[in-house]
Structure 1
Amino acid sequence: MTDILASVPRVPEAVAAALYTAHPSGSLGWMVWSVVLGVVSVAAGLVSRRLLLRWLRKPFRSLYQGVTLRRAERISYGLLRTVILWVSAAVFFAVGAVIVIAVTPEFGPTRTTSLVLLIGMTLYLVLRDLTVNVFQPESPELRLLPIDDATAVHMTRELLLVFAVSIVFVGISVCFAWFKIDPDAHAVMRIVASLVASILMGAYVLSHRKVVAVLIRGNAPRPGLLRKVLAGTWHILAIVYLAATTASNIATILLRGGFLVGPILGPIVAFVVAIALFGVCVILIDRRFRAQQADLHRASGGTAAMPPEALPMPAVERAAAVAEAAAMMEDDEDEEEEEEAAAEEVLEAESAPVAETPAEVLAEGEEIETPAAPLVNPVTIWQLRWKGLGEHLAAILAAIVGVMTLLAVWGRLSLREGTVQFVGYLAVLFATYALYQIVRTWIDGKIAEEEPGPGHGQSEDGMGTGSTRLATLLPLLRNLLLVSIASIGGMIVLSGLGVNVGPLFAGAGVVGLAVGFGAQTLIRDIFSGAFFLADDAFRKGEYIDVGGVMGSVEKISVRSFQLRHQNGPLHTVPFGDIKRLTNYSRDWVVMKLPLRLEYGTDVEQVRKLIKKLGQELLEDPEVGPMFLQPLKSQGVVQMEDSAMILRVKFMTRPGDQFVTRRHVYMRINELFEQEGIRFASRQVTVRIADDADAHHNYTPEERRQAALGAVQPILEAEAQKSE
């Protein structure tokens, strides 16, 4: 190390000596010939590249002519265009290399210099094609990143400058490796090249840290914890990686090792592989769920011919992101608190004018409860959850493949036993997580299909119509399957790590036996619940009576269920405490309505009127389909002091009787008023006899109090009955 540091002042002299001694003639004439040959080979390669691109331009454009540029089309356009450009870069290198090798049949400094120049130019073209297709500085309609044109141009130019300068310095150090240069001076050149590349990339990261932070946060009103942490620390992680890579390179150089290219190109290669894989997955997912996306967009008030993903970024959303990015570039000296406040303002500006649709929430792979639009089919929302789940799993898979690619470029991934086991553990964990999410989403979708549609469910009086039996049992099955999947996946990983899982099962059996003796009530509740559900005694949403506790079944767990009373209270009832269960929401219900009529009313006339009214109600388009049996009269069922009680009845499905009751009462009142039939009012006759022995009469106040005392019990009984 001391020798290398001491050789720093001698680097120019060592470089000059290496250039003179590179050619047997001892002159610098070969350099002129190398530059000329390099320029000619590069020019020939560029011409070949241009001709190839011109030949492919027409068929490439025909693929997307007249096609709406949705997200899938924009991604496929970028991927295919990148592949074509990289093929043209390969043609560029092949043509140039053929010229160099043909002109210089023998290996020497001229061929070395020309080939290094050609390789550096090819690498720059590859990186340039990738950068341009990511930022799309000249094609805003194809840009996937929510940044404005100026920011895209600025970021593209700066990144290309970083690549160009880094390639020049690294290329020079690689070129001199073939010359007879002093090893210490060459080590200094490699250290300088590594420092220059890392410093330039670090400056680029710090310069655009806020723009990238906004992109990582996304446009969700409440980004997840991982997004927040990554948005605030991504530049720190990048700087730490660059510093570690530079330190590793310098240490390798000081130890007389070679120049490590893997740590430098590793992130770029991993990024390309991960983005390409994720892009292909997104294309397949978008095309699979395009119909559901269009249905959701139509239901939300948009145009039927253009799904949301086909629309450009909303103007307000793009303007907010653009304004934030511009402000970030102009003010690099803000405090951290001001940075956070600015980011929050951008997110509020993005979320306030443009309501986030359920599809946008699902695309982020996060579980946020969003109220669905009234016109959107719940099944459509569930199908779009598959879209969000697919993108979520695709992002995880792309991240895993990117990490594995990075390790492979570093040289840390091989076919050794430990590496294969590590990859196997990752595959098991990913498969377990994917299966967990797939089962949960599938069962949730089946529950959504079984749920009653709009206009069904709980009635106005709190009497639920009930879900299907499948919708009642599926939540319990879902929990059982999810626990089983997580347990099996964990056992596989533990077994692969060398943990003997046999004693775990034995211990679980002992613990289960102990719990069984100590928690007999719990076991009774669980088994009772299993038999009640097997007997289909009740379902979710049905109105039941359990020993005086009444309400609609709101939630069912393993040991208990919850009843929501129509007045609001929530009752939790263990299955083991059920002695008798009455279900008011099964099959049909008969509603009987008493009518108080005056004495002297023609009962036969009333019977005929009620029968005719029943037929009219059956033909009513609103309530007619609710009747299972028409309204009919049962005649006089009771005689009271002030009225005779007639009763009418009808049959409906559970939950519909309250709506039909309102219509029946209203129509009977109108009918009786037209026919002159009068309802009897309640009367209580109180006779107060004078006390003959007292030889005086009661005063009016005493008579009033006596009458009130006679009526009060009747009023209290009626009030209690009405409750």
Structure 2
Amino acid sequence: MPYRSTRLFAALLLACLLSLPVASAMAQALPGTMTSGGGGEPAPTEAQAEAQTGPKAELQSLVDTLKDDQRRQNLIRQIETLIQLPADAVTVPRTAPAAAAAAAEEEGMLGRGLSELSEHVGELSGVLVTGIDQIFNLDRFWDWSVAVFSNPDYRNRLLLALGKIALVVAAGYAAHYIVRLALTRPRRALAAKEAIHPIFGWLLLLLRGALELIPIAAFFGAAQAVIVLTNMAPQIRLASVALIFAFVLSQVIMAGFTLLLAPKHPERRRIPLSDETANYLHIWARRFTYLAVFGLMGAHAAALLGLPLTVYGVLRKIVYLALAAMAVIFILQNRKPVAEAMRGPEDMPEEQRHKPMSRLRRRLAGIWHLLALLYVVAAFAVLILGIAGGFAFISRATALTLVALVIGRVMWILFDRLIIHGFSINPEMKQKFPTLELRANRYLPILSTVFHAAIIVVVGVAILQAWGFNAFGYITSTGGQRLIGTIISILIILGVAAVAWEFISLFVERYLKRLDESGQTNTRAKTLLPLIRNALLIVLITMVTLIVLSELGVNIAPLLAGAGVVGLAIGFGSQALVKDVITGLFLLVEDTINVGDVVQVGTQSGVVEAMSIRTIKLRDLGGNLHTIPFGSVDIITNMTKDYGRAVIDVGVAYRENVDEVIEVLRKVGEELAADENYKDTITAPMEIFGVQALADSSVTIRCRFTTKVGMHWAVGREMNRRIKNTFDKLGIEIPFPHQTLYFGTDQKGGAPAAHIVLEKAQAGEEPKPRTIHANADAAIEQAAEGGESVSPPPELRDQAEAKANAAKEEAEKEAEKAREDAGLPKKP
């Protein structure tokens, strides 16, 4: 069954269920006030029946009992049983009400409610026992039947009355049949028309309903005419009116269900129901209608014709019991379909599924049949007990229940719309306070839950009040006022705490936002303010919890004492933790480090990612996260505090002119400071300190840049790159580790030749003869392949030296040209 059809089926089921006791009460009450067209006396109601069973009836019953031997013996045995009972047991019925009243007064409203409930249960049990006794002891009904059929005069009057009633009913049926036959063509014409719009479809439905009411009106008119024209006794006339009313009421009800459900004509059905569901509802509507209307009206008519009032009361209670049993069967048969309709479709969006109304429907889906059964039992109890004003009570309670549910639903919808439109944030406010919408959405579900719970409580109290439970009385009592005051106080405390927390958060966020907009880098504030906010949150939660417990009546003094003892124990047992907290607090207050700084803590270095009151978290260059307790920190080196310094040590060969190198470094530094990418980063001109050290193989010259925080590494790398390129261009040697092999010289300065032997042959083998090439490189390559010793011929050695000298001269020329371009003097 589609979801919409299922929901409509559930609504129709609920409407039928709620109207069942009211219809039964109407069927009982209305005939008593109806008269025929010619007038007459009202029919005996239940109150009149009870009046007729007063002292006179009881005396007559006592006389009948004494005349009957069997009944007289039963009465004697009952009296003897009462005589044998103890005195206190006999006096219990007289003293019990007073004691119960006193106990109820002492116990308060709840005790009174339980006492009243106990009394009603006792009355219901008594009525059921009496009814069963009357059903199985039908002596009076048998006596009445014998008296009627044994008395020719009374029998003739009864048969005459039945004949007149049959004449009235036959005349009504004849008129009903003739008029219905005459309206066949108009009914078919309306049935053939198709609605081009839903509104026209409902108009056609109303026209068909009007045509269905015309034959019913004809039945009523013809039957009333026969009543007026015939000479009937008042009781017979009232009995006829009761049956006429039963027919008219049942036909009107069934005509409405037939038009609405259209079980045999699906094309005329205006509500989305399947054929099976429509026929199912139509069958059950017919069962309830005919049993309630004809059962109660038939018993009423029989009472008007002389049926004993006790038998009439039993018949009426049997009808009520049958209706209640049918209602129970009907509810249990439709438990699952209605529950599925209340839960909603399976593909419901997740956001819709978590709404309060959806959650409430899902919870009620599992217990709706229990509530419906409770309603049926309550209505049956009211009717079966014959409570004074029972019809008015059921009608009023049912109507007030429906009104309370409708008003509650309207309030629910209005509040949801108010939440959506009233708490929306305009774009300007979002831009000014970016997190305002997020915080508002955080509290909206809580606010919505509180208001929805309030609506449910108000509706529940109204329903309880409508059904006779003094819920308002409990609210206005001392205990109720105390409970409501406590709830309101707790809500106010929570509201004030939420407002205070939001003001704190708003202040922190606005302050940090101002820092970002002004370009200030107050990382201390960015670090301390969130920590202070979290500390205030802990304090706020603690205070609110203690105040709420105090409002609930809990003595918080032992809690405070226990908290002090626990805190002392924790302080002694967690000295390392206390040390971490105190050290971290002083580090934060002294502004030693902040989130985002590059620091070295002990042997670990990296960027400060997060800081708590106890630990610091560093992310190193390799991406590793180090968590270091403050208590284990001895030395902290902050490399990004206030400003940065790029210290550059440049090593040159001893042969280079130091003054010339310093001048080159100054020009390179000026070029770097004027670069577009670095001029805003470097905050001061480069400082050259001079010769820093005379190392083993180099002369070290030190210079320094002052930069913005964290930019000295980039400036240092760029300076090193430019120095290397410039020195290469100018021929300034940058020493690097190497070794010089010295073979010694003779007195004339000549050095012996270095002979290179490439060993490849096996031990004991003679070297292979070599081939002299015109090119020394080819000779050396061939010798290396053969594992021979190489001794280039003089002519090849001279060629190699000539090439080397030419390359050296070319390099010196290029260096001199670069020095001239740089404005440096020529080398001597």
**TM-score with structure 1 length normalisation?**
0.51
* Secondary structure in 2 matching 1:680: coil
Does 1:290 pair with 2:427? yes
Q: Encode CA deviations 1:635-686: one digit per residue, 9 max, x unaligned.
A: 332333443333332111222222333433344445555x525451403335
Query: 1:629 is matched with which residue: 684, 706, 726?
Result: 684
Query: 1:415 is matched with which residue: 466, 473, 476?
Result: 476
Residue ranges of structure 1 left out of the alignment (5+ in a row) = 1-8, 30-112, 114-152, 156-165, 220-225, 296-378, 458-464, 691-696, 703-723
Q: Which amino acid aligns with 2:734?
A: A
* 8 A Cα contact 2:339 2:366, kept in partner: no
Q: Encode CA deviations 1:43-86: one digit per residue, 9 max, x unaligned.
A: xxxxxxxxxxxxxxxxxxxxxxxxxxxxxxxxxxxxxxxxxxxx
Query: 1:567 is matched with which residue: 611, 619, 622?
Result: 622
Cα pair distance change 1:275/1:235, threshold 3 Å: closer
CA apart distance, 1:501: 0.9
CA apart distance, 1:592: 0.8
Cα pair distance change 1:644/1:512, threshold 3 Å: same
| Aligned residue runs from structure 1 range 268-667, under 5 A | 268-286=406-424, 288-291=425-428, 381-411=434-464, 412=471, 414-427=475-488, 430=491, 446=508, 450=512, 468-667=523-722
Which residue is equivalent to 1:22?
Answer: 33
Which residue is equivalent to 2:736?
Answer: 682
Does 1:254 pair with 2:254? no
* Secondary structure in 1 matching 2:704: strand
Q: More helix by proportion, 1 or 2?
A: 2
CA apart distance, 1:381: 4.7
Cα pair distance change 1:432/1:544, threshold 3 Å: farther
Residue ranges of structure 2 left out of the alignment (5+ in a row) = 1-19, 41-244, 246-270, 274-283, 301-312, 383-389, 465-470, 745-753, 760-828
CA distance in 2, matches of 1:432, 1:194: 48
CA distance in 2, matches of 1:199, 1:493: 48
Cα pair distance change 1:633/1:246, threshold 3 Å: same
Q: Which amino acid aligns with 1:291?
A: E
Which residue is equivalent to 2:83?
Answer: none
CA distance in 2, matches of 1:274, 1:12: 31
* 8 A Cα contact 1:595 1:647, kept in partner: yes
* 8 A Cα contact 1:447 1:474, kept in partner: no
* Secondary structure in 1 matching 2:348: helix
Which residue is equivalent to 2:771?
Answer: none
* 8 A Cα contact 1:451 1:468, kept in partner: no
* Secondary structure in 2 matching 1:683: coil
* Secondary structure in 1 matching 2:435: helix
* 8 A Cα contact 1:467 1:541, kept in partner: no
CA distance in 2, matches of 1:170, 1:193: 8
CA distance in 1, matches of 2:360, 2:557: 43
CA apart distance, 1:539: 1.8
* Secondary structure in 2 matching 1:624: coil
Query: 1:211 is matched with which residue: 308, 320, 345?
Result: 345
* Secondary structure in 2 matching 1:536: coil
More displaced 10-residue stretch of structure 1: 515-524 or 257-266: 257-266
Cα pair distance change 1:18/1:568, threshold 3 Å: closer
CA distance in 2, matches of 1:173, 1:424: 51
CA distance in 2, matches of 1:435, 1:485: 10
Does 1:245 pair with 2:306? no
CA distance in 2, matches of 1:434, 1:421: 20
* 8 A Cα contact 2:608 2:616, kept in partner: yes
* Secondary structure in 2 matching 1:661: helix
Q: Which amino acid aligns with 1:676?
A: L
* 8 A Cα contact 2:599 2:640, kept in partner: yes
CA distance in 1, matches of 2:646, 2:665: 15
* Secondary structure in 1 matching 2:610: strand
* 8 A Cα contact 2:584 2:614, kept in partner: yes
Cα pair distance change 1:615/1:682, threshold 3 Å: closer
* Secondary structure in 2 matching 1:499: coil
* 8 A Cα contact 1:586 1:654, kept in partner: yes
CA distance in 1, matches of 2:34, 2:437: 68
Q: CA RMSD in A?
A: 5.5
CA distance in 2, matches of 1:385, 1:254: 53
| Aligned residue runs from structure 1 range 108-119, under 5 A | none
Q: Encode CA deviations 1:388-446: one digit per residue, 9 max, x unaligned.
A: 22433432333333333333333446333444444455455555666666666666663
Q: Which has the larger radius of gyration?
A: 2
Cα pair distance change 1:497/1:208, threshold 3 Å: closer
Q: Which amino acid aligns with 2:461?
A: A
* Secondary structure in 2 matching 1:551: strand
Q: Percent identity?
A: 22
* Secondary structure in 1 matching 2:568: helix
**Number of positions where the alignment pairs a residue of Structure 1 with one of Structure 2:** 459
* 8 A Cα contact 1:385 1:441, kept in partner: no
* 8 A Cα contact 1:273 1:401, kept in partner: no
CA distance in 1, matches of 2:553, 2:733: 86
* 8 A Cα contact 2:580 2:629, kept in partner: yes
* 8 A Cα contact 1:540 1:555, kept in partner: yes
* 8 A Cα contact 1:544 1:553, kept in partner: yes
* 8 A Cα contact 1:601 1:677, kept in partner: no
* 8 A Cα contact 1:627 1:650, kept in partner: yes
Cα pair distance change 1:380/1:284, threshold 3 Å: same
CA apart distance, 1:234: 6.4
CA apart distance, 1:278: 3.1
